C-alpha cells in the first residue's frame, strides 16, 4: 500500500521550468551591445515579461567581431541586462563557443550549449563545468518536433515558481485593428519597410519590433528628398508632347529595369506627356497618356513641334442700315463707337440712310 501511495505521488508530481526568452544578438560594438540589450528589455516589457519570471538569454551565433571583441560585447550585453534586474544566460553552439568566444573571459561560466549528435556525446565543457545541453531540435513527442535540453546547472529548473503572469501575444494585426489602421499583409509589409525592415516575412520577431516602435510613438525615418541628376541632359518637366529620336521602351515604373519593360517604339513615335517623376536614383521620367513611363533624356527624345494651322480670317458682313437707325444705336448693337463707325466708313457727318452698308 505504501509503495502504491509513493508511486502515485511520483506520477502526480508537476515539473516546473523557469520561463525564459532569448535575443538573437548581432553585436558589432560596445555601444551596439548596450543598445541591443535596451531593445531586448523594451520588448520583454512590451509583452509583460517581468525580470522575476525567469531567464533573459543572449543567443550569440554570429561572428561579427574578433574573438576578444565578441566576448567583450557579449559581456556588455549580459551586464546591461543584469543591471535591469534580469537573470541572464548565454546560448550558443558548442563549436562556436570554442572557436569564437573566450571562455576564460566570459561572465557566464556554465552556458547553454547546442550540440546535436543523437544524444551520444556531451559538449566539451569549460573546465568540466556543465550548464545546459540542447542535444536535439527534432525530438518527436506526440507526433511533433521539439527542442530538448538537459539542465545540469539547474538554471531553468531550480527555484521555478508555480505560476507567472500572463505573457501577451505578439500580434501586430490586433494592434493595427485596434487603431483602425490597415492590417493586410501588404499594409504590414509597407509599414515594415518604412521602419527599415526590407525583408519582412511576418515573423514574430519582426512583428514585435514593429509593435514596440508603434507603442513607443516612434515615427519612421523621413525619406531624404531625391534630387534630379544632370538636369541639363533632360527635357523640361512641363513638356507636353515628345517624339522619339531613336528606338525607346515604355516601362511600368520609373525603375527602368528590364522586368518593368512593357513595349518598344521606333524613331519618330509621338507621345503625349501627362506628368513627370524622378526615379529612385534621381533620373527624370515622363509619364505618358497610357500611364506608362518613358525616358526624358535628350539623347532619346525631343520636344514635338506641332505645325500651326493657318487661321482663316473671318470677314464680317456689313451692317445694312434700317429705318429709324442712328450711328449711336448701331455702335451700341455692334459693341463699337460712333467715331470708329465714321472713320472706317469715311463719314463726314452723322447722317445715314436706310439700305446703306456700314463696316464696323
174-202 tens-digit pLDDT: 889 888 899 899 899 999 999 888 888 88
Residue 8 has pLDDT above 80, yes or no: no
- Mean pLDDT, the chain, rounded, equals 86
Q: What's the whole-number mean pLDDT along residues 81-97?
A: 94
The residue among 231 and 166 whose pLDDT is bigger is 231
Question: Residue 198 corresponds to which cell in the numbers above?
Answer: 526590407
Phi first, then psi, for residue 340 (nearest 5°) are -65, -40
Residue 88 has pLDDT above 80, yes or no: yes
Residue 271 has pLDDT above 80, yes or no: yes
3-state secondary structure of 200: coil
Answer whether 257's CB lies under 8 Å from 281's CB: no
Q: What's the whole-number mean pLDDT along residues 253-275?
A: 94
The residue among 240 and 170 whose pLDDT is bigger is 240
Predicted local distance difference test score (pLDDT) of residue 235: 96
Predicted local distance difference test score (pLDDT) of residue 268: 94
pTM (whole model) above 0.85: no
* In the chain, alpha helices (H): 2-12, 30-46, 67-83, 94-100, 172-178, 185-194, 204-215, 327-333, 338-344
Domains of the chain from N-terminus onward: 15-151 (3.20.20.80), 172-215 (no CATH), 231-303 (2.30.30), 319-358 (3.10.350.10)
Q: What's the whole-number mean pLDDT along residues 38-55?
A: 83
List, for residues 127-176, the tens digit of each pLDDT value: 888 999 998 888 888 888 888 888 999 888 887 666 666 666 667 888 89
Contacts of the segment 330-333: beta carbons below 8 A, 24+ positions apart: 330/358, 330/360, 331/360
Phi first, then psi, for residue 200 (nearest 5°) are -65, 130
Residue 108 to residue 97: CA distance in whole angstroms: 12
Q: What's the whole-number mean pLDDT along residues 92-100?
A: 93
Residue 3 has pLDDT above 50, yes or no: no
Q: How confident is the model at residue 90 (pLDDT cuts 50, 70, 90)?
A: very high
Predicted local distance difference test score (pLDDT) of residue 278: 94
Strand partners for 286: 276, 294
Amino acid at each position: 500500500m505504501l509503495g502504491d501511495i509513493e508511486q502515485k505521488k511520483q506520477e502526480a508530481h508537476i515539473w516546473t521550468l523557469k520561463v525564459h526568452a532569448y535575443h538573437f544578438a548581432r553585436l558589432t560594438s560596445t555601444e551596439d551591445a548596450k543598445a541591443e540589450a535596451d531593445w531586448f528589455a523594451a520588448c520583454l516589457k512590451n509583452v509583460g515579461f517581468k525580470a522575476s519570471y525567469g531567464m533573459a538569454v543572449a543567443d550569440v551565433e554570429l561572428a561579427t567581431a574578433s574573438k576578444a571583441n565578441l566576448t567583450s560585447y557579449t559581456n556588455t550585453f549580459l551586464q546591461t541586462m543584469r543591471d535591469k534586474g534580469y537573470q541572464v544566460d548565454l546560448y550558443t553552439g558548442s563549436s562556436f563557443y570554442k572557436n569564437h568566444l573566450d571562455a576564460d573571459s566570459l561572465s557566464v561560466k556554465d552556458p547553454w550549449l547546442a550540440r546535436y549528435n543523437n544524444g551520444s556525446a556531451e559538449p566539451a565543457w569549460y573546465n568540466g563545468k556543465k550548464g545546459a545541453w540542447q542535444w536535439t531540435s527534432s525530438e518527436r513527442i506526440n507526433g511533433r518536433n521539439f527542442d530538448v535540453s538537459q539542465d545540469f546547472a539547474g538554471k531553468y529548473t531550480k527555484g521555478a515558481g508555480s505560476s507567472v503572469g500572463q505573457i501577451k501575444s505578439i500580434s501586430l494585426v490586433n494592434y493595427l485593428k485596434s487603431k483602425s489602421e490597415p492590417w493586410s499583409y501588404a499594409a504590414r509589409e509597407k509599414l515594415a519597410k518604412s521602419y527599415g525592415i526590407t525583408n519582412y516575412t511576418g515573423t514574430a520577431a519582426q512583428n514585435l519590433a514593429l509593435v514596440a516602435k508603434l507603442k513607443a510613438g516612434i515615427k519612421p525615418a523621413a525619406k531624404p528628398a531625391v534630387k534630379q541628376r544632370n538636369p541639363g541632359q533632360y527635357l523640361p518637366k512641363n513638356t507636353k508632347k515628345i517624339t522619339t529620336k531613336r528606338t525607346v521602351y515604355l516601362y511600368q515604373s520609373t525603375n527602368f529595369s528590364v522586368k518593368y519593360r512593357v513595349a518598344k517604339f521606333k524613331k519618330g513615335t509621338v507621345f503625349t506627356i501627362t506628368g513627370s517623376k524622378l526615379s529612385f536614383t534621381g533620373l527624370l521620367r515622363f509619364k505618358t497618356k497610357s500611364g506608362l513611363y518613358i525616358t526624358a533624356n535628350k539623347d532619346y527624345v525631343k520636344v514635338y513641334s506641332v505645325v500651326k494651322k493657318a487661321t482663316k480670317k473671318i470677314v464680317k458682313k456689313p451692317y445694312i442700315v434700317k429705318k429709324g437707325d442712328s450711328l449711336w444705336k448701331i455702335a451700341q448693337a455692334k459693341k463699337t463707337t460712333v467715331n470708329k463707325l465714321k472713320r472706317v466708313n469715311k463719314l463726314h457727318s452723322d447722317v445715314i440712310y436706310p439700305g446703306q452698308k456700314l463696316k464696323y
